[in-house]
Amino acid sequence: MTDDRQVPPRNGEGDRAAQPRGGGVLSASDEAFRLAKRERRSGNLPEVLVWRELRQRPGGFKFRRHHPLSRLVLDFVCLQARLVIEIDGHAHDCGDRPERDRRRDMYLESQGFAVLRLPARMVLGDLDGAIAAIVVKCGERLPLHHQPAAGGPPPRAGEVLCS
């Protein structure tokens, strides 16, 4: 006699392929994850130079490289400041690319992100200036949480509000 009952998975196990990755605004498609992984292995010189500096957390900001978001892969992102940094080479000036970049920027802005586009030429010519521009833009985006109205809810744990 065989037992046809299925044993339920233990805690933390199950069909992970059926579950979407991430959640809400920061979710991403499987294709975006694959593309991001491939992009991280590429040796685009301006991006490599910028990443070498951003890894040091300039201004105290944490950055991610080739971060998947929805169906997109972002060159760099500071989630704390909700700032996307794109390094644009010469190809971004050709064909339909400017229009595609404009639509992409509009989508990211609708999701609460600001986009900072830096020409690869600038990065190669003045890396310190490019990093400084990124840090300044991150600083301008903070704080994302504003002082609540009188009688409003208190800040969440860990939030520090400027007076």
Tell me whether residue 154 is in a domain: no
Tell me the residue range of the domain where 104 lies.
25-140
In a domain, 153, yes or no: no
How many distinct structural domains can be found in the chain?
Answer: 1
- Domain membership of residue 161 (yes or no) is no
- Predicted confidence at residue 67, as pLDDT, reads 87
In whole angstroms, what is the distance from residue 82 CA to residue 80 CA?
6
Rounded CA-CA distance 39/35 in Å is 6
* The pair of three-digit structure tokens given for residue 141, joined into one six-digit string: 């985006």
User: Within a domain: residue 120?
Assistant: yes
Q: Mean pLDDT for the chain? A: 78
- In degrees and rounded to multiples of 5, residue 92 shows phi and psi of -70, -10
Please report, as a single letter, which amino acid is at residue 158: G
> Rounded distance, CA 162 to CA 147, Å?
7
Indicate whether 115 belongs to any domain: yes
**Is the pLDDT reported for residue 163 higher than 60?**
no
- Within a domain: 16: no
Residue 86 has pLDDT above 90, yes or no: yes
pLDDT score, position 40? 65
Instruction: CATH number of the domain at 39, please.
Output: 3.40.960.10
* Residue 57, pLDDT above cutoff 70: yes
Instruction: Please provide the DSSP assignment of 30-96 as one string.
Output: HHHHHHHHHHHH---HHHHHHHHHHTT-GGG---EEEEEEBTEEEEEEETTTTEEEEEE-GGGGSTT
Q: Is residue 150 part of a domain?
A: no
> What's residue 146's pLDDT?
58
Identify whether 111 is part of a domain.
Answer: yes
Tens digits of residue pLDDT in 94-151: 667 788 889 999 999 998 999 999 999 999 999 999 999 999 999 998 876 656 666 6
Retrieve residue 131's tokens: 């990093």
Longest dimension (CA), the chain: 76
Residue appearing with tokens 């991001």: 36
- Cα–Cα dist 123/48, whole Å: 10
Q: pTM higher than 0.75 for the full model? A: no
